[in-house]
Amino acid sequence: MNTNPLISVVIPAHNEEKYLAVCLESVKRAAAQTGDGQDSVEIVVALNRCTDGTKEIARRFGAVVVTNDDRSIARVRNAGVNASRGEIVVTIDADSVMSERALCEIVEMLESGRFIGGGTRVRFGRMSIGIFFSAMYVAWNLIPVMLRNKAALSGGMFWFRRRDFDRLGGFDETLVSLEDMDFAVRLNRLGVSRGLKYGTLKKSYIVTSSRKFDEFGDWYLIRNRKLTKRLFTGRDREAADRFYYDVR
């Protein structure tokens, strides 16, 4: 008998045939570590304007497949979560890999009764001086958000209970970028109202690809600070198209 809560891992995917299989393999490994193994973990892949073999890869791994072709990552994420059945939801990007005990740690933290949800630490698939300082520059821009909310809001891979996602109305579909940090802010506020913390996985982490740096250059975000600041407004369609939606 399955005694653990069902976990849904939701993965937005736009032409991800290069990365998706490795991501899904990491989810399967993490699922095998949970008390009921892979029977307690559902995988949902939310396809977005895919013209490659992403869909076939998702189906080969037994994932639930849903399609949303809007140029809005918030809507794609919401489509995936809305198609899921899990009490606990985890969102991870298709070019990222979760560590083996990640799902176990998420369940432990949520069932401790101390956390509303949270994020995790992020490592890049490769590192350089440019990537390091770019990451520091992005973190510096997020400091005011964290100070206003009196919380360290990690991202990378979000985890939360489905009921809280529904209460928050999901990811804000009016945003064309920074929808993930906006969700973290609102999740944290909901937690504060209930005496719960926004958490960061302590032992687990994700490894994410450096493809944005490969495509634009390791120093791009610093050399193009005006574009970076426009992306941080969350509502600049031209900037979002340039950096996200029109790439690849």
pLDDT along the chain (248 residues), means of 10: 79 97 97 82 97 97 97 97 97 98 97 97 96 95 86 93 98 96 96 97 97 96 95 95 85
The beta-strand segments (E) located in the chain are 7-13, 41-47, 64-67, 88-92, 96-98, 115-124, 155-161, 197-208
10, 20, 217, 155 alpha-carbon torsion, rounded to 10°: 20
Residue 148: predicted pLDDT: 87
SS3 (DSSP) at 210: coil
Instruction: Report the top-level CATH class of 7-245.
Output: alpha beta
Check: CB of residue 68 under 8 Å from CB of residue 52.
no
Residue 143: predicted pLDDT: 87
Residue 38 is classified by DSSP as: G
Please return the burial class of 95, using the count of CB atoms within 10 Å of its CB with bins 0-12, 13-18 and 19+.
Answer: buried
Residue 32: predicted pLDDT: 94
Check: CB of residue 103 under 8 Å from CB of residue 90.
yes
Chain segment 225-234, per-residue pLDDT in tens: 999 999 999 9
Question: What residue segments make up the domains of the chain, in order of their start?
Answer: 7-245
Check: CB of residue 118 under 8 Å from CB of residue 109.
yes
Contacts of residue 77, Cβ cutoff 8 Å, sequence gap at least 6? 10, 12, 46, 91, 170, 171, 179
Please return the burial class of 226, using the count of CB atoms within 10 Å of its CB with bins 0-12, 13-18 and 19+.
Answer: exposed
Residue 248: predicted pLDDT: 62
CA distance 199 to 109: 8
CA distance 149 to 153: 9
> Residue 89: phi, psi to the nearest 5?
-120, 135
Please return the burial class of 62, using the count of CB atoms within 10 Å of its CB with bins 0-12, 13-18 and 19+.
Answer: exposed
Residue 1: predicted pLDDT: 46
